[in-house]
Chain A
Amino acid sequence: MGTTEIIVKFILIVVIFLVSLLIAMYSTYAERKIAAFLQDRVGPNRAGPFGILQPLADGAKMFMKEEIIPANSSKFLFIVGPSLAIMTACIGSAVIPWGETLVIGSSRIPLQVTDINVGVLYIFGVVSLGVYGIMIGGWASNNKYSLLGSIRAASQNISYEIAMGLSIIALLMTTGTLSLKEIAAQQHGWHWNVVYQPLGFLIFIVCAFAETNRAPFDLPECETELVGGYHTEYSSMKLGFYLFAEYINMFISGAVMATLYFGGYNFPFMHHLGLGENWVTILGVIALFIKIFLFIFFFMWVRWTLPRFRYDQLMDLGWKTLIPLAIANIVGTGLWMTFVK
């Protein structure tokens, strides 16, 4: 790896990092606006035109707030919790192919930080690490509500990871690769995986809701039962990091779903428009972001539509419905591949 390549990768990393922070920031704004529109309200409109500066005001408020570490908490782990949550949320973006290649001069720059051949597994590893931040934070708080919230988060994530993994297996059987770059490249034009794996996608998106702790599966922070759930004792920017991590997770899971099932940066007729390679790449990046934004919108839309599941219903759905369904999907895909293809 030459120096220029390192510099290019570094720039790419910084850009992706900043973009995901920016999107997470404005997701909070979007969430409030969408919630308002779905409920026939106006939403934040005081800070700047249409309240566009609201995230900045919220961030400033978060930083200014008093920082409280409970006396009987485990201080080190109390700080590690949110740090881990936001870190694991951010590193998931490393393997996602944001676009094809840019040609600058004589060098070709792939718009992906790293193309590892086990990209899907990497995403899984990072996602399952994500629960540690919540678990450690809730446990270190030394508060029964926090502990209950973190136990819920842990068992919920473990249960839904299985179904998620099984739904992915069916997808990997058809793609034959774990590299996200190749998976994205295979779905050229209109050949999106969702057409071949509709059931797998349905299972995956339900599990994504559970993994990101979003409604209707937001039991770890279920405010009607657990005050604030795992972040009950958190204040100031540590709370901010937890909330931020949730929005980054939403962004990343949107990106993963778009890449795995909705063609990633591919859009119809992308190589029949007669445009230069760079233009196609840029349009591809825009297409990917549109898909991600639609997913984020869907996450929010669902949040303000469905009521929260009860905990036993959640476990029921995960273990008794989604896992058998995912296994059936694998069998069905196998049969289809053997006899039809």
Chain B
Amino acid sequence: MESLSNKRKVIESKPLNFWERIYLPAIVRGLSITMKHFFRKDVTIRYPEQKREFSENFRGMHSLKRDEHGRERCTACGLCALSCPAEAITMISAERQPAEENLYREEKYAAVYEINMLRCIFCGLCEEACPKEAIYLDGDIVPPDYLRKDFIYGKDKLVEAPLNQ
């Protein structure tokens, strides 16, 4: 039958000719191919010593930002937790005390802020949901660890370093 797509290939299996049957030319050709690869520069990045640069829109570990006076921006509104499709974020809010104006920007802040890095899918929806520009996924990749409980990152790991330190 006529092929409609014109893509059909007729494969003939001819008996091997003399040079194919003695293998040697094919072996020599194979050896020359592998030898070419022997001298080719490898593309491996030797990971712990060398790191490949992340692309600009890479989403890594989260960080909770501070404003220009070094105050935490997060107001514990919970929009990030709500937007999170993986249910990775939890927080407990608290009211700012009179002496704490230099620590927190608004009257309400997150006393506890936890992200379970094993649940997180690094989609970046928390970043998009945040009205206070308080959370960004601008960190490195999450380092490995031994225990599941150690992957629940609290404020100690998430909050940016204070300005004057």
- Chain A residues within CB distance 8 Å of chain B: 34, 36-42, 45, 301-302, 304-306
Q: Is the CB of A302 within 8 A of B40?
A: no
B31, B42, B43: the one within 8 Å of A301 (CB)? B31
Residues of A within 8 A of B40 (CB): 40
B46 contacts the other chain (CB 8 A): yes
Instruction: Classify the secondary structure of B's interface with A.
Output: helix
A39, A40, A42, A305: the one within 8 Å of B30 (CB)? A305
B27 contacts the other chain (CB 8 A): yes
Q: Is the CB of B44 within 8 A of A41?
A: yes
Q: Known: A305-B31, A306-B27. Contact between A38 and B42, CB under 8 A?
A: no
Instruction: Classify the secondary structure of A's interface with B.
Output: loop
Residue of A nearest to B30 (CB): A305
Q: Is the CB of A306 within 8 A of B44?
A: no
Contacting residues of chain B (33-47) with chain A, CB-CB under 8 angstroms: 33-35, 37-38, 40, 42-44, 46
- New A-B pairs, 19, CB < 8 Å, besides A37-B38, A306-B27: A34-B38, A37-B37, A37-B42, A38-B34, A38-B35, A38-B37, A38-B38, A40-B42, A40-B43, A41-B42, A41-B44, A42-B42, A301-B34, A301-B35, A305-B27, A305-B30, A305-B31, A305-B33, A305-B34
CA distance A267 to B63 in the complex (A): 69
30 CB contacts below 8 A, A to B, read A34-B38, A36-B42, A37-B37, A37-B38, A37-B42, A38-B34, A38-B35, A38-B37, A38-B38, A39-B37, A40-B37, A40-B40, A40-B42, A41-B42, A41-B44, A42-B42, A42-B44, A42-B46, A45-B46, A301-B31, A301-B34, A302-B27, A302-B31, A305-B27, A305-B30, A305-B31, A305-B33, A305-B34, A306-B27, A306-B30
Chain A nearest CB from B35 CB (Å) reads 7
Residues of A within 8 A of B31 (CB): 301-302, 305
CA distance A45 to B48 in the complex (A): 12
**Chain B interface category by residue count:** 10 to 19
Contacting residues of chain B (1-57) with chain A, CB-CB under 8 angstroms: 27, 30-31, 33-35, 37-38, 40, 42-44, 46
- Could you say which of B33, B34, B40, B44 has the most chain A C-beta atoms within 10 Å of its C-beta? B34
Residues of B within 8 A of A306 (CB): 27, 30
Q: Which 5 A-B residue pairs are closest in the complex by CB-CB distance?
A: A305-B34, A38-B34, A305-B30, A42-B44, A37-B38
CA distance A301 to B31 in the complex (A): 7
Chain B nearest CB from A283 CB (Å) reads 28
Residues of A within 8 A of B35 (CB): 38, 301
Residues of B within 8 A of A38 (CB): 34-35, 37-38
Residue of B nearest to A297 (CB): B38
Chain B nearest CB from A322 CB (Å) reads 11
CA distance A301 to B37 in the complex (A): 11
Q: Is the CB of B34 within 8 A of A304?
A: yes
Residues of A within 8 A of B46 (CB): 42, 45
Residue of B nearest to A37 (CB): B38
Chain A nearest CB from B32 CB (Å) reads 9
Residues of B within 8 A of A301 (CB): 31, 34-35
